[in-house]
Amino acid sequence: MPDLNTPAPGRAAEPWTGRTVVVTGAAAGIGGGVADLLVGLGATVVGLDRDAAALDAAAARHVGSPGRLVPVTVDVADPAALDDAARRVGAEHGTLDGVVCAAGVQRYGTVDETDVATYAEVMDVNVGGAFHTCRTMVPLVRAGGGGAVVVVSSVQAFATQSGVAAYTTSKAALQGLVRAMAVDHAADGIRVNSVSPGSVDTPMLRWAAGLFAGDRPAEDVVAEWGRSHALGRVATPAEVAEVVEFLLGGRASFVTGADVKVDGGLSARLAAALPEADA
């Protein structure tokens, strides 16, 4: 089996035939984009998601693709369910070459507006989901001789909008988890990194846009959010997936404990703009 930590310079994309990767949130959004890319490159993707119908539909789309998507319905907020999923993965696939933690939820509210149940939901899915996915799946990566883990964080781990206290807390916590795993598992031949997207055109973003649209079309809100990025638009899941695939593979053989911002320049721009000069 190819060594995911062997340098492979000069290749635009790697062949993934013979490799198996677990992807959470694989039915849609960024996780769906990662699954699509890897399956298209020949990987076996074990897709974890709580939306069974969407996951089955995603698997059906890939019939005839170079690789395949194996659907496993599981809620990543349930540690026992992840234990069961890992046993199934081990029994059916033996070992893993990589893990991508992309499942997540967004909820709004300041710290005093966020009730206990909402805080618990955000932390259980965003942080607990990544932690317990890695707790159960990293041993399968180690058993295969090493590989890579990529966690989907957010630019809001570093700077924040107003009214997203629980979400920002969860994404900042993921950065600590990535650093800890990178140090702890380097000797196992396992690299661990994160990507921090800005606004990405996913079902979650569209849902959020609908909350703030008022009488406007949600599309107008998405476009407005896009204009806050230096590139003037939101990203596609496929664009984030390209960076995830790089971090998973041998071209990133000396990259661990790192975060890559995939944010279209959002975090590079200061909010205080210079005044327009008189014509």
Structure tokens given for 44: 């076996």
**CA separation, residue 39 to residues 2, 21, 252 (Å):** 17, 10, 20
Question: Which is catalytic among the residues 167, 195, 248, 256?
Answer: 167
Contact 147, 4 (CB under 8 A): yes
Max intra-chain CA distance, the chain:
70
Q: Could you confirm whether 167 is annotated as catalytic?
A: yes
Q: Which residues contact 276 (CB under 8 A, 6 or more apart)?
A: none
Contact 185, 192 (CB under 8 A): yes
Strands (E), 119-230: 147-152, 190-197
Q: 163: left (phi > 0), else alpha (psi -120 to 50), else beta?
A: left
> Active-site residue numbers?
167
